[in-house]
Every structure is written in structure tokens, then in C-alpha cells.
Structure 1
Amino acid sequence: MKKIMLLSASAAILLSSCVSNKKYAELEAKQKETQDQLNTATVKLNACLEDKDEMTERIKVLNNTNAALLNNVGDLATLSKKEAENLERSLESIKEKDLAIKSMRDAINKKDSVTLALVTSLKGAIGNMNDEDIEINVEKGVVYVSISDKLLFDSGRYNVTNKAKEVLGKVATVIKNKPDIEFMVEGHTDDKSISTSMFQDNWDLSVKRATSVVRILQDEFDVDPKRMTAAGRSYYMPVASNETADGRARNRRTRIVVLPKLDQFYGMIEEGMEQASKASN
């Protein structure tokens, strides 16, 4: 670089003494252009050097990574017998967990299929009834049949009406065809307090209405009493606001809750795990 600048300066002095001013100006412009090109080349060279340094660092990192991998492979190749057994047990544990998850999923799917079949049967049996008086739905895998008190009972009483017995008979037919299920009959009221010679309070009313439905299912439709539970909820589980007449009417209801049999559910899981274990051996 210094030699080039010195030659350029010498040339300029020499030329200034033996060439015209016009020629000198042309040479001076050309020298400036050459200098600019030299500066540009220098910048590019420095950039290339920086790129080279960066690539060198990357290569070092890759080499270190490869060395670590090779060391790991060597460690694996020289596993002691005990370490190999521990590794085998760990892999077997993972495999068993995978089988357990699959079995649980299969059991859940089977349970969902049973639930769907039950809902279909119930809707098919009582599908011609007014939807405002009867609702069938599924929440978190549990089947609920909700029947309004307007259909089941006369106002302020707990004796089941003849019209309601027709509905309960249809429900009983479906329940009796599925002997593996258990269910609970819940009585619900609105929040209007009641205290008469017949009922002490809303708790009393809700329990007596649930018990009345259970007795009808047992005495008139031969449902096994061991499969039933009667419960009163009073007004503590509303489905609508008690501030309006319509809301209070919705809250006055009797609900049949199909209880999931957890022992059967876990039995399906255990059966699935046993079958999966046999298949893997």
C-alpha cells in the first residue's frame, strides 16, 4: 500500500514537470479512481477475513460436537452390564406406560360408546315427549335425564301423576335393558321457602319427591332397588335464575343421573393392559 502511494506521488511530481496541465489533470483523475478501487478492494478483503474467522469458529464448534458425539457413542459401546440392565428396565418402563395410556384411551372410548348407546336408547324411548318437560344430556361422560316437576307432580305435592308414570315407564324399560348401570334420582326445588304440615322445608320436599319417583320405578316397573339412590338437593343446584317465574320453573325438576361404575371402568383398563402385555410378549 505504501509503495503504491509513493509511486503515485513520484509519478505526479514527474508528470507535472513534463506534461501539460490538461494531461496532468487526466492522470490525476485516473490516479484518484485507482485509489478508490483500491479502497473498495481493501474493504471487501477485510469482510472476507471476518467471514473466514466466523467460519473457522463454526468449524471448531462442529468438531467439538462431533467429538462429544463420538465420546457418547464410545460410552454406549462400553456400558457396563449393570448400566445396560438399568437402560433396559427404563425402556421397558416407558413401554409399559405407553401400554397403560393406550389401555386407558381404549377404556374411555368404550365407556363413551356405552354412554352414547344409552342416550340413543333413552331418546328413542321418550323422544315423542315435549322437550320443555324432559331433557336428556351428557356432561363429562355422565348421562342426565331431567324431568320438570310440572310433568311429575301437582303443585306443592310429591305424588307422581299418571301422565308422569308413562314417562317413568319408558325410562324404566331402557334402564332394565342395561342391568350393569346404576343411577340416582335427585329432587330439586326453587328457592321459595316452604313450610307446611306435609313438608318441613325445601330439603324435605326435594327428598320426598325423589323417593316417590324411586318407589314408582321399583313398585310399578320392577327396577331393582339395589341399583337406585334417592337424593334431595333442595334449591342449591339451580340451572336458571330464581329471579323470574320461568327460571324457578326450570329449577323445579327431578333428575335421573346415570352413575358411572368406576370398578367396571378400571376393569376395562386392567383388561386392556393385560391384553396389550400378552401381545407384546
Structure 2
Amino acid sequence: MKFNRIPLALLVLAIISQGCVSNKKYNELQTRYNDLQQKSKDLNQKYQTGQQDLSGSSSRVKSLEEQIASEKANVKALQDALDKCLNSTSQGNVNISKLVDEINSSNKYIQQLVNAKNKSDSLNVVLTNNLTRSLSREEMKDVDVQVLKGVVYISLADNMLYKSGSYDILPAAGATLSKIAKIITDYKDYEVLIEGNTDNVPISQTNIRNNWDLSALRASSVVQALQNTYNVDPKRLTAGGRGEYNPIAGNDTDAGKMKNRRTQIIITPKLDQFMDLIGKAPDTKKD
């Protein structure tokens, strides 16, 4: 609000209506008038200052309201992100739990495979020891014995048994065959397959058509030697030839061809005998 100045004429009229006053009285009235004028001016200034302060406060209030609205929007966005994260984490926990179960299952299966391999290795040791127990250490040096999946493979190079390009057995091969006969005889119920193998060089003998013939004839020679010379029961023996089609090395080098020219004596226990060996195999489980 505004404070109007008191008109001088009214003051004078009031004085006149009361009659003449002294100078002293007039001066006092003039002083009061001046004071009132100054107070009115001060009040007007305070009023203007208050209006300015009110306008500034309104602006600040509006700015604060805008900031509050912005912060509320940020809080909502953060809450939405948190909810999404929690949902994702929950799904992630399910996936992690499933993955852990799969890993545990895989580890269990791996352990089963390890145990099976250990058991198989133990069976191989038992079978090798059983089949070679009739041989001395010196005799074992000349006989290459390997056991794979419960089957015994005795491998003999062709130059140990035969003349080159022939199926006739060398006299010097008798010592080796006698050792093999001791193994076969020691376990009389095991099945025995004599298998001939060659390299891929074609045979040029008039009485031998190809490497199939050569491999089969060599296997037959060993079978007959075991039967006729070392008294192995022929009902247990089988002669077979695989020609050049069961190589264990490349035929592109002389060393590879030499490895491929071999005769294998394969000794296989029957099912009931194999199960008996399982009972003899040492337990591989550890506490």
C-alpha cells in the first residue's frame, strides 16, 4: 500500500479554524509534519523492498519445484532400473544354478570315465601278468605284448618269422614261437587269432596272387607251426589275413613299411573269463 502525503492546506485550514497560533506551535506542527512525511517515505521503501523480496522468493520456489520434479523423475528411473536389474539377477541366479548343476553332472561323468579307465588299466595289467606269467624276464624281451580293451596283442615283425616275400617260417623263428606257444598253452581256454599284415608293395611271386594271399598264407604258416610243432589245440586257433589294409604307419617310408609288415597274435578271453578278471582287478577307488 502507499502512504499519501498529508496536504498542507488541510493542516493550515485546521489551524485557521482554531484561530491563530503562535510561531512555536506552528513550528512544532511543521516538525511533526516533516516526521510523518519521512515515515511515509520509509514505509513506501520497505513496501517496495518487500515486493521485490516476494518476487525473488516466488522465483526461487518455482525453481525448487522444478528441481524436485526432476529429482522425482530421476528416482523413478533409478527404481525402474533397479527393478529390472533385480529381475535380471533373479533370472541370472536361475541360469547360474542350472549351469552349476550341469557342471556338477559333467564332473561326475568325467569321474566315472576316470574310474572306468583306471579299472580298464588295472584289467589290462592283470591280463598281461596272467598271460605272460609263464615267461621269464629274458623271454619277455623278445615278445612285444600290448593289451588294449581287454585284448592281448603280440606283434612279430615279418623279418623275425619269414623269408622276404615268402610265407615259409625261418628256423630262427622257432625260439619266438615257442614262447608264444607257452603263453597260449598256459591259458588253454582263450581264443587265439593269428593275423597277417603287409605293406602296400605288390607281391611278385608266381604262386601268390597279391598281398591278401601273402598275409593269409603267413598267418596259416604260424597256425600250423603252433599246432604241429608246439601242440597247441587247433580248435582254438584262427588264421586270417588283412593284406595291406590295416596299416599302423605310413607306407611312404621304408621304416613305415617295415612296421606294417607284421604278424599279430591276438589272444581274447571269453566273456566269463573276462568277468573273472574283473574280480581280480585291484580296486582303484581312493579314500
TM-score normalized by the length of structure 1:
0.56
Distance 1:235 1:263, change over 3 A: same
Pair 1:169-2:169 in alignment: no
**Partner Cα distance (2:56, 2:48) in 1:** 15
Match of 1:39 in 2: 69
Question: What's the CA shift for 1:183?
Answer: 1.6
Match of 1:222 among 231, 234, 237: 231
Distance 1:48 1:240, change over 3 A: closer
Match of 1:19 among 36, 43, 50: 50
Question: What's the CA shift for 1:166?
Answer: 1.7
**Partner Cα distance (2:164, 2:79) in 1:** 95
SS in 2 for 1:234: coil
Match of 2:108 in 1: none
Pair 1:184-2:193 in alignment: yes
**Partner Cα distance (2:140, 2:252) in 1:** 24
**Partner Cα distance (1:252, 1:43) in 2:** 86
Question: What's the CA shift for 1:147?
Answer: 0.6
Q: After superposition, what is the alpha-carbon deviation per residue over 1:37-72, rounded to whole angstroms, capped at 9, x for unaligned?
A: 431464367569969x99xx9xxxxxxxxxxxxxxx
Aligned residues: 205
SS in 1 for 2:187: coil
Note the aligned Cα RMSD (angstroms).
4.4
**Partner Cα distance (2:123, 2:168) in 1:** 33
**Partner Cα distance (2:270, 2:47) in 1:** 111
Match of 1:238 among 221, 241, 247: 247
Pair 1:199-2:214 in alignment: no
Q: After superposition, what is the alpha-carbon deviation per residue over 1:225-251, rounded to whole angstroms, capped at 9, x for unaligned?
A: 211101112222222222322222111
Q: Structure 2: 5+ residue runs without aligned partners?
A: 1-45, 88-111, 279-287
TM-score normalized by the length of structure 2:
0.55
**Partner Cα distance (2:128, 2:71) in 1:** 82
The amino acid across from 1:142 in the alignment is V
Match of 2:146 in 1: 137
**Partner Cα distance (1:16, 1:152) in 2:** 131
Maintained 8 Å contact 1:107/1:265 = no
Match of 1:30 in 2: 60
Match of 1:155 in 2: 164
Maintained 8 Å contact 1:136/1:144 = yes
**Partner Cα distance (1:179, 1:140) in 2:** 20
Distance 1:127 1:214, change over 3 A: farther
Maintained 8 Å contact 1:121/1:174 = no
Distance 1:107 1:266, change over 3 A: farther
Match of 1:255 in 2: 264
Question: Identity rate of aligned residues, in percent?
Answer: 37
**Partner Cα distance (1:267, 1:178) in 2:** 13
